[in-house]
Amino acid sequence: MIRIDILSVLPELLESPLNHSIVKRAKEKGLAKIVIHNLRDYGKGNYKQTDDYPFGGEAGMVIMIEPVFNLIENLKSERTYDEIIYMSPDGELLDQKRANALSMKGNIMILCGHYKGVDHRIREHLITREISIGDYVLSGGEIPAAVLCDSIVRLIPGAISDETSALSDSFQDNLLAPPVYTRPADFKGWKVPEVLLSGNPKLIHEWKESQSIERTKRLRPDLFEKKGED
């Protein structure tokens, strides 16, 4: 079982994406445990303050180091973490290879930034890894954290009923997935490729492979070049 602890000042943003579909089933099966922690529980004073103005006079608010440090230390006193991840547009780009590697871990902690970000000393001294889901900025790290969790949990054996489904997803081998079709075989004259109706596993496999290569060359030539380097 994998355990993922998520630290956030707005934990309610994580409730829906982490309580439905494959992630929900993985939790119900005991394959994954996801615990969301409210940083405000560790905030300062009567108002549970977790952010303050940045030194240097810039606009915006910054998450303070004390509540983050105290929560991380509390969690680390209970178990050892393989990774303490900060979701940041500055981080390494999340891809299938990284999701595969993280799905093999036992305990992961994820810190969600918000406002202007977090006190940089958190990143210097407490974080082991920074991950980005793309070259753009969101209001906070909660949505990226949910994306990361979904990409990890769905890879755990048993999370998906047909485990071979995850292995055939796009990016598993640096190729895009081939087109998929279902009933009816003919809709308004739009027909499913005959080879998929042939019942010939060899021909179907060859067709899917050729389609993956063609689609990757056309839509993501960068991935195809990376495929050639493997």
Instruction: Verify that 139 and 183 share a domain, yes or no.
Output: no
DSSP for residue 176: P
Cβ neighbours for 144, distance < 8 A, ≥ 6 positions apart: 87, 112, 131, 132, 133, 138
Residues across the chain: 230
27 in any annotated domain: yes
Does pLDDT of 167 surpass 60?
no
pTM: 0.88
What does each C-alpha distance from 65 to 39, 45, 62 come to in angstroms?
A: 11, 15, 9
- CATH (domain of 78): 3.40.1280.10
- CATH (domain of 211): 1.10.1270.20
Q: Looking at per-residue confidence, does 47 or 226 come out higher?
A: 47
What does each C-alpha distance from 161 to 43, 77, 98, 103, 156 come to in angstroms?
A: 42, 35, 23, 17, 11
Instruction: Verify that 128 and 179 share a domain, yes or no.
Output: no
Instruction: Verify that 149 and 186 share a domain, yes or no.
Output: no
Rounded distance between C-alpha atoms, residue 46 and residue 29, angstroms:
40
- pLDDT tens column, 8-48: 999 999 999 999 999 999 999 999 999 999 999 999 889 99
- pLDDT tens column, 57-86: 888 999 999 999 999 999 999 999 999 999
pLDDT at 224: 86
Neighbouring-strand partners of residue 86: 111, 130
Instruction: Verify that 126 and 180 share a domain, yes or no.
Output: no
Does pLDDT of 112 surpass 90?
yes
158 in any annotated domain: no
Instruction: Verify that 178 and 119 share a domain, yes or no.
Output: no
- pLDDT tens column, 121-152: 999 999 999 999 999 999 999 999 999 999 99
Which of helix, strand or coil describes residue 30?
Answer: coil
Query: 191 lies in which domain range?
Result: 168-229
Instruction: Verify that 194 and 136 share a domain, yes or no.
Output: no
pLDDT band at 225 (very low <50, low <70, confident <90, very high): confident
Instruction: Verify that 174 and 214 share a domain, yes or no.
Output: yes
Instruction: Verify that 37 and 74 share a domain, yes or no.
Output: yes
Instruction: Verify that 119 and 30 share a domain, yes or no.
Output: yes
Total domain count, the chain: 2
Cβ neighbours for 10, distance < 8 A, ≥ 6 positions apart: 112, 114, 140, 142
Which of helix, strand or coil describes residue 45?
Answer: coil
161 in any annotated domain: no
Average pLDDT, the chain: 93
